[in-house]
Amino acid sequence: MTKKMTNNNYQIEAFWDTEVGVWVATSDDVPGLATEAKTMEILTAKIKQMIPELLIANEVINPNYQGIIKFEIITHRQELITVGN
C-alpha cells in the first residue's frame, strides 16, 4: 500500500568531512538517504536522483508519480585556521 505524499519539502543535511574531503548528506525526511561527493554540485546531482528512487522504494510516492518534489540542502562546514607557530 502506497502512502500519500504529505511532505512537500524534504530537508537534506550536508556537512563537510575534512578528514576525507567530501560532502556527506543524510536526511530524516527521506529514509535511506546517505551519500557523499567531492563537490556540492555532484552531491546535489546524486540527491536529485536518489530522492525519487528512495521515496518510491519506501512507498511514500507511487512509482507512477508525476509532479514536483522539492528539497532543501542545509549545509554545515567547519574549518580550522592555524595562525603563527
Domains of the chain, CATH where assigned: 9-76 (3.30.2390.10)
Report the distance separating Cα 44 and Cα 74, nearest Å. Answer: 11
Alpha helices (runs of H) in 39-78, residue ranges in sequence order: 40-57
First to last CA, the chain: 63
**What DSSP state is assigned to residue 75?**
E
Portion of the chain with pLDDT greater than 90, in percent: 81
The DSSP result for 1-12, as a single string, is -PPP---SEEEE
- The bridge status of strand 9-17 relative to strand 22-26 is antiparallel
What are the φ/ψ torsions at residue 83 (nearest 5 degrees)? -115, 125
Using one digit for the tens of pLDDT, what is the confidence trace for 31-61? Answer: 999 999 999 999 999 999 999 999 999 999 9
